[in-house]
Amino acid sequence: MKNIILLLALVFIFSCSSSTSEEQSSGYDIVVYGGTSGGIAAAVQASRMGKKVLLIEPSKHIGGLTTGGLGQTDIGNKQAIGGIAREFYANIRTHYNDPANWKWQEPSAYMDGGQTRTVEGEPTMWTFEPSAAMKVYDQMIAKEKIELVINKKLNRESGVTMNGTSISQIEMQDGTVYTGKVFIDATYEGDLMAAAGVSYHVGREANNVYNETYNGVQLLDGHQFPEGIDPYVKKGDPTSGLLWGITDDELKEQGSGDDLVQTYNFRICLTTNQDNMVPITEPDNYDPARYELLLRLLEALPDRRKLNNHFIWSHMPNEKTDINNRGAFSTDMIGMSHAYPEASYGEREAIVKEHVDYTKGLLYFYASDPRVPAELREEMKTWGYPKDEYTSNGNWSPQLYVREVRRMIGEYVMTQANCVGEEVISDPVGLAAYTMDSHNCQRIVVDGMVKNEGNVEVGGFPPYPISYRSIVPKKDQATNLLVPVALSASHIAFGSIRMEPVFMVLGQSAATAAALAIDNSQSVQAVNYDALKKKLLEDGQRLNP
């Protein structure tokens, strides 16, 4: 009997010891929250630097916009892109080198059209189907020691445990807890950053905040209504009310700040291949009244009878598209994004659903409403949703293009001066190369006419470096957190930086810094820049224009 009791005691002691060991091993070196393109690049780099890495995606969809329909890569100067980002686009090229991946189209019919590029002798491809991007990302993740969990959302109210200025653990809504040495917030929304108490900004700063020209309110000519478009339900009668989508807000002073967020949309994947098509039919909550203003625009532009006059209709491999906003009334759901940054998860889902309904309704309106010019109706009828894309989401992208949500206010704020080369930083971790770009923020009445406000497209400058300090919080707020996506930048500078390849670059650089911080038992703010630069260059990053 004594032997049995002793044996049971030993079993109990061993089981306690085993449990403690498992509990300790459940911690990670680097925890990446957000399976966007930047988050995937961060996880890949962390794995390659020998760190135990966890990649958490709040939704069921990894890859963000790169797998969500943005196949027409925006960057400006592709020579600015290196490292894992360049590797991704080289992998896309390898994917399409396989004839099996050209099921619906002859490769030569597309590739000979100038869609391929060479970056220092390496073949790359910058236009692709959503499913191709997903396949490439799946392959890249599978080659690494990355633990991936999906559909785990951060408890934004109390899910971040701080030990002074250090994050010790994060808790998901379902109660799952993850511990780590360094955390990387790679979400578009900056949810982990915000929950950790890091400073951030939502909306547009006034020009005088950072001595800028193109921040704040901007009533310019891009994607604008022509003169004379009446905004009222009954033309000429203000008492009849405003057409859908127009607000009664007054135009504020040019360059003044506000909390408005540039508009969101979907990058739409359609096809003309009848064998691979789901027809465009009447969607949920369809309301043709939403598109009355579009009819007035079409009346004012009688010569614009091609879809490409009203959408940016970019062609992708296998007879597919990446469709973006063009003109005064298009896929941008202007004015409907302002609540998204601080909204609850449920409220965000409702906002996304409103965008789905609006966008599907827009396509159906073009295809079916007899008031739409016949040429446009007939052209739209030739298109449909690809059967082989987004098969688990009704052939529709699960990723809304949330162009700008929160922006950290970190150790350094990137501004217009950085974009145009008036101020050059000394600690680059990547290059940006796109125009200073903002989509419209509001649709209002100006002098009795409908106008869009907020669009800015100003370029003409070469690639410029992005500061390491812009992906690092202030040291008195968080010392083991990096933010490569919702980074520290003014509204108009973020509009230049916020491209998917740049997010990949910054994700890789963030993971490199995280690994160095762990190796040297340092805060992320104390990482030696010379050591960081050396490792980044070894891994193919481009740091100098």
Residue by residue, DSSP assigns 433-448 as -S-EEE---EEEEETT
Q: What are phi and psi of 137, to 5 degrees?
A: -65, -45
How many C-beta atoms lie closer than 10 Å to residue 43's C-beta? 33
Is residue 85 predicted with pLDDT exceeding 60?
yes
Give the span between the Cα atoms of 271 and 393, in whole angstroms.
Answer: 17
pLDDT in tens, 264-318: 999 999 999 999 999 999 999 999 999 999 999 999 999 999 999 999 999 999 9
Mean pLDDT for the stretch of residues 529-536: 98
Expressed in percent and rounded to 5, the helix, strand and coil fractions of the chain are: 35, 20, 45
* pLDDT, average across residues 502-517: 98
Q: Angle CA(41)–CA(46)–CA(47) in degrees, nearest 5? A: 100
Report residue 167's pLDDT band, with 50, 70 and 90 as the boundaries: very high
What integer pLDDT is reported at residue 110 of this predicted model?
Answer: 64
Q: Say if residue 529's pLDDT is above 70.
A: yes
Is the pLDDT higher at 119 or at 219?
219
Reply yes or no on whether the pLDDT at 143 is more than 90: yes
Dihedral sign (CA 330, 336, 341, 346)? negative
User: Which range (71-85, 411-425, 501-515) has the least confidence?
Assistant: 71-85
Distances (CA, A) of 324 to 234, 266, 307, 415, 441: 31, 7, 11, 26, 16
pLDDT at 22: 33
How confident is the model at residue 7, as a pLDDT?
40
Calculate mean pLDDT across residues 355-374. 98
Burial class for 76, CB neighbours closer than 10 Å (0-12, 13-18, 19+): buried
The answer to whether residue 17 scores a pLDDT higher than 90 is: no
Nearest Cα to 286, choosing from 244, 324, 337, 323?
Answer: 244
**Is the pLDDT reported for residue 105 higher than 50?**
yes
**Out of 26-30, 57-61, 202-206, 363-367, least confident range:** 26-30
Calpha distance 364→381 (Å, rounded) = 9
CB within 8 A of 50, min separation 6: which ones? Answer: 515
Interatomic CA distance for residues 227 and 251, integer angstroms? 16
pLDDT of residue 57: 98
At 72, list the tokens: 């027409």
Using alpha carbons, select from 58, 33, 64 the residue that is nearest to residue 153: 58
CA atoms of 539 and 545, how far apart (whole Å): 17
**Which stretch of 10-19, 352-361, 435-444 has the lowest confidence by average pLDDT?**
10-19
- DSSP, residue by residue, 173-201: TTS-EEEEEEEEE--SS-HHHHHTT--EE
Q: What number is the average pLDDT over the span 220-240? A: 97
Alpha helices by DSSP H, 98-190: 107-110, 130-142
> Can you tell me the distance from the alpha carbon of 329 to that of 46, in angstroms, rounded to the nearest whole number?
43
Q: What is the DSSP letter of 111?
A: I
Choose the weakest-confidence range: 39-43, 124-128, 374-378. Answer: 124-128
Q: What is the pLDDT of residue 518?
A: 98
Q: What is the pLDDT of residue 107?
A: 82
Residues in the chain: 545
Strand partners, 278: 385
Q: What tokens appear for 139 in the block?
A: 């392959």
Helix (H, G, I), strand (E, B) or coil at 169: strand
Give the chain's end-to-end CA distance (angstroms, integer). Answer: 79
pLDDT higher than threshold 60 for residue 457: yes
How many other CB atoms sit within 10 Å of the CB of residue 58? 21
Q: How many CA atoms lie within 13 A of 71 on its CB side?
A: 29
Beta bridge partners of 504: none
Candidate from 116-130, 278-292, 494-508 with smallest mean pLDDT: 116-130
Handedness of CA 7, 13, 14, 19 (dihedral sign): positive
Predicted pLDDT at 241: 98
d(CA 389, CA 386): 6
Max CA pair span of the chain: 98
Give the pairing of strands 146-150 and 53-57: parallel
For position 537, what pLDDT does the model report? 98
pLDDT of res. 24: 34
User: Per-residue pLDDT averaged across 339-352, rounded?
Assistant: 98
Mean pLDDT of 57-72: 98
Average pLDDT over residues 503-510: 98
The angle at the Cα of 36, spanning 171 to 488, to the nearest 5 degrees, equals: 85
Residue 12, pLDDT > 60, answer: no
Residue 243: CB atoms within 10 A of its CB come to: 21
- Encoded tokens for 439: 């989509």
Given a cut of 90, is residue 233 above it in pLDDT? Answer: yes
The per-residue pLDDT for range 245-268, each reduced to its tens digit, is 999 999 999 999 999 999 999 999
The residue type of 542 is R
Contacts of 237 by beta carbon, 8 Å cutoff, 6+ apart: none
Give the domains, in start order, of the chain with CATH numbers: 28-86+131-203+405-434+458-538 (3.50.50.60)
Mean per-residue pLDDT over the chain, rounded: 93
Comparing CA positions, the residue from 500, 509, 511, 524 lying closest to residue 466 is 509
Beta bridge partners of 453: 442
The mean pLDDT value for 402-431 works out to 98
- Phi, psi (deg, nearest 5) at residue 170: -130, 145
What integer is the mean pLDDT of 325-337? 98
Distance CA 476, CA 376 (A): 57
Predicted pLDDT of residue 6:
41
H helix intervals, 237-382: 292-300, 345-368, 374-381
Closest CA to 426 of 466, 461, 463, 462: 466
Average pLDDT of the residues in 206-215: 98
